Structure 1
């Protein structure tokens, strides 16, 4: 029994409830690894008052599904969950949750990190930050590209 849940939504989410639901009824699970991304109040030396995340409906979910499929082909994992918020967000708001279950922590850690690295670079999301200097679109970071490159076979 393997399962992939992918949601792109405006509403916030309850991390604890999501994890309980993800592993419920699966006694094989010995590890649950999660990553939670939140909005920072400072980026590239400027205060961030608000961040707006945009996406391309349908295309974004398809890209996330492909990323999860790649992770499942590389590691022995069970369930995966990717929740990514869109719309206006404030500092400290939750943006993204990636959760992976498996029998052992090593597989779950690797798969979770892989999914997050690819999500940051290959999923069609666009970020606009509101700063005291005005609005600005956030470009991809070299560090994100470097993190993704290490997974290439």
Structure 2
């Protein structure tokens, strides 16, 4: 069977690309897949990770002895989440789940004596866009990929900006004006690394997370795709 293998973080860097196309034999296990990846130049990093790699297929995490399902189209191979002094928290939130900033601040501080700054970005649905009243936003997301991608970006920010911790909470589903859309937080030694890190992480979450926004305004429904917006009626006209 032919599958796409998607790699994240250090595995992506070791492979030099984020996606591989592989031909796998029937009856191959997760261990067999990892052995195949090792033979393709990932052996050193997989050995370094000491069996902590997570393999996800069809939204489920598979044990090393489990078979790769024959209907698999995409296999996600993830390194373990950050440990040691790094603190990462990611969450996909729904409805009116409360966000406790005091608890998040405590998590990001983590009793680390080197932490001298914690900063947050709080996204809110605005009530006016392009001069029109916004009635509602709807965030569609990939259940399978969302948290792994948020974790990857948070870990990358920690490495890139020498942070102590990072958190990303992203709301999905319908959201009304005034409701939260995301909360992103970072901690570090001072504002000199915390502020640029926060901006970087927010930007990358907005552009890389597998989430797609639909906006309902007075004049109709708009799909936000990249930096463009496409009106729903235009899609129907072209069909």
The TM-score range, normalised by the shorter chain, is: 0.7 to 0.9
Name structure 2 gaps, 5 residues minimum. Answer: 1-84, 229-239
The offset of 1:121, in angstroms, is: 0.7
RMSD: 1.6
Aligned equivalent of 1:9, options 93, 97, 107: 93
Q: Superposition pairs for residues 128-139 of structure 1, below 5 Å?
A: 128-139=214-225
1:130 partner SS: strand
The offset of 1:24, in angstroms, is: 4.2
Aligned equivalent of 1:36, options 122, 132, 137: 122
1:54 partner SS: strand
String of CA shifts for 1:43-73, please: whole Å, max 9, x gaps: 2232111111111012111221221222122
Aligned equivalent of 1:100, options 186, 208, 217: 186
TM-score by structure 2 length?
0.56
1:62 partner SS: helix
The offset of 1:96, in angstroms, is: 0.7
Q: Which has the higher contact order (CA 8 A, sep 6+)?
A: 1
String of CA shifts for 1:26-50, please: whole Å, max 9, x gaps: 3321010111111001122321111
Q: Determine the C-alpha separation between the residues in 2 that align with 1:91 and 1:14.
A: 20
Aligned length: 142
- Number of the residue aligned with 1:145: none
Kept in 1, the 8 Å contact 2:108–2:164? The answer is no
TM-score by structure 1 length?
0.84
Kept in 2, the 8 Å contact 1:121–1:140? The answer is yes
Q: Determine the C-alpha separation between the residues in 2 that align with 1:138 and 1:15.
A: 29
Larger radius of gyration: 2
